[in-house]
Amino acid sequence: MTKIEINGASLAYDDLGSGTPVVLLHAGIADRRMWREQLPALAARHRVIALDLRGYGDSELPAAPFAHHDDVVGLLDALGLPQAALVGCSFGGAVAIDTALAYPQRVGALALFGTAVGGNEWSEETNDLWEELVGDTDPDDFAASAAGEVRFWVVGPGRRPEDVDPALIRFAEEMDRRALAAERALSAVDVIELDPPAIERLGELRLPVLVTAGAADVPDIGRLADRIAAEVPGAVRLPDLPDAGHLLPLERPDAANAALLHFLG
- Summarize the confidence of residues 160-186 as an average pLDDT: 95
| pLDDT value, residue 67 | 97
- Summarize the confidence of residues 127-153 as an average pLDDT: 84
| pLDDT value, residue 132 | 77
Provide the whole-model pTM: 0.96
Long-range contacts of 257-263 (CB under 8 A, 24+ apart): 257/37, 257/38, 257/41, 257/42, 259/111, 259/210, 259/212, 260/38, 260/41, 260/42, 260/87, 260/111, 260/210, 261/41, 261/42, 261/45, 263/109, 263/111, 263/208, 263/210, 263/236
pLDDT confidence of 114, banded at 50, 70, 90? very high
Alpha-carbon gap, residue 29 to 183, rounded angstroms:
9
**Would the pLDDT of 89 be above 90?**
yes
Domains of the chain (ranges plus CATH)?
2-121+191-264 (3.40.50.1820), 124-183 (no CATH)
In tens, the pLDDT along 190-233 reads 999 999 999 999 999 999 999 999 999 999 999 999 999 999 99
**Would the pLDDT of 138 be above 80?**
no
Sign of the torsion formed by the C-alpha atoms of 244, 94, 136 and 54: positive
**Would the pLDDT of 155 be above 80?**
yes
| Residue pair 232/202 in contact by the 8 Å Cβ criterion | yes
Number of neighbours of residue 43 by Cβ within 10 angstroms: 17
| pLDDT value, residue 205 | 98
| pLDDT value, residue 141 | 82
| pLDDT value, residue 8 | 94
Report the chain's mean pLDDT, rounded to a whole number: 95
In tens, the pLDDT along 53-62 reads 999 999 999 9
Q: Which residue has the higher pLDDT, 141 or 15?
A: 15
